[in-house]
Structure formats: structure tokens, C-alpha cells
Homo-oligomer: A and B are copies of this chain.
Amino acid sequence: MKSLLDEISNEKSISSEKLQLLKSSVVIKHIAKGEILRRKGEKPEKFYFVKKGCLRSYAIDEKGKEHIFMFAPEGWIIGDIESHVKNMPTQLFVDAIEDSEIEVFDKKIINLDTQLLQPKLALDKLTKRVAVLQKRIILLMSATLQERYLDFIQTYPEIVQRVPQKMIASYLGVTPEALSKIRNDLSKHK
């Protein structure tokens, strides 16, 4: 089973005592499906590496609707890294879609002053996140639902299998009914 600790350990530039400190601060946690790890408005103090299971992050708009920002199956990091800046409380919820096993990292770890987590690694992950978000914005603005769905199942085939369709609809920004109809169309027309 993959581990973020392993990934960090492979960074040659990290000193062994720092690595030791890092390891001692990481907690393995088992969480049940439906359990909420973070609520909107909380200070982001942790982030999570998924060893097993699947988490998701999402926002709830003024109309009460959920909008999923990302799914995090095995090997992914989740936890609103992006709000780990001063004066910015999390806007996102994080909860478990399946029973999961995670590595819990403390926010302090990515605090740059401590230098425990390589800034390079943090930058790298943030940058990829931006790329994903930008692509999503273009799709939302220019593609039909059908195109967005096809892109999704191609980009995240593993996820399509495990998460409920209404959550995929939420990720795509449409109602479950609309997604259902699109799937129906796709199954017929070939």
C-alpha cells in the first residue's frame, strides 16, 4: 500500500532527523463511510493522504447544493492545501465516500518555516491542482454535459466505478437526472 511518507522519504534532500520528526507526527486513521473530516469554516489543520478507500472535498452553495471539487481514491492527497495560507478558513468540506484508511499530516508539516515538507513538493502539487481546475473551467464553459461526462470517464475511469452517479453529477455540475439521461443516450447510440 502506497504511503506519502515513502514518497517524501525518497526526497534525498531531506535530513534524517527531519524525516524522523515527520514520521512521528503522522497518524494513521481509519474512518467510516460518511464521516466528516472537515467542515467549512474550520481552520485547516490537517491534510490527508488516502491509503485505502476514497474521500471527497466539496462546497455547499447558498442554495444548499453540494459541489464536489475532487475525489481522492488511493494515493491522493486531499485537504484543501490551497487554503493553507494565512487568514483563509477552509471553504470546503471533506468526508469519506467509503470506509477509508488515511495518513493524517499536520498543517505545520507543510508550513514552510519548518521546511519539513519540501516546498518543491508542495508547489508541484498545487500547480497540478491549478491545471486541473483550469481544465474544468474550460469544460464547464465550452463543453456540453455529454462531452464533460465522456472526458470524466476517460480521465478518472477508476472513480466512475466506485462513486455514486449523483456525486459524479455533482462534480460535473449538473443534476442527477440530466446525467442519467446522458448515460441513457450514450448506451443507445452505439
Give chain A's interface residues, CB within 8 Å of chain B: 59, 61-63, 65, 67, 69, 81-85, 88, 91-92, 112, 119-120, 122-124, 126-131, 133-138, 140-143, 173
Contacts and interface: CB of A to CB of B under 8 A. Distances in A.
A81 B136 CA distance: 18
5 contacts: A82-B130, A85-B128, A112-B123, A130-B133, A136-B137
A65 B142 contact: yes
Copies of this chain per assembly: 2
Shortest Cβ-Cβ A-B pairs, 4 listed: A141-B173, A119-B119, A82-B130, A133-B133
A75 to B, nearest CB: 19
A39 B85 CA distance: 31
B85 A138 contact: no
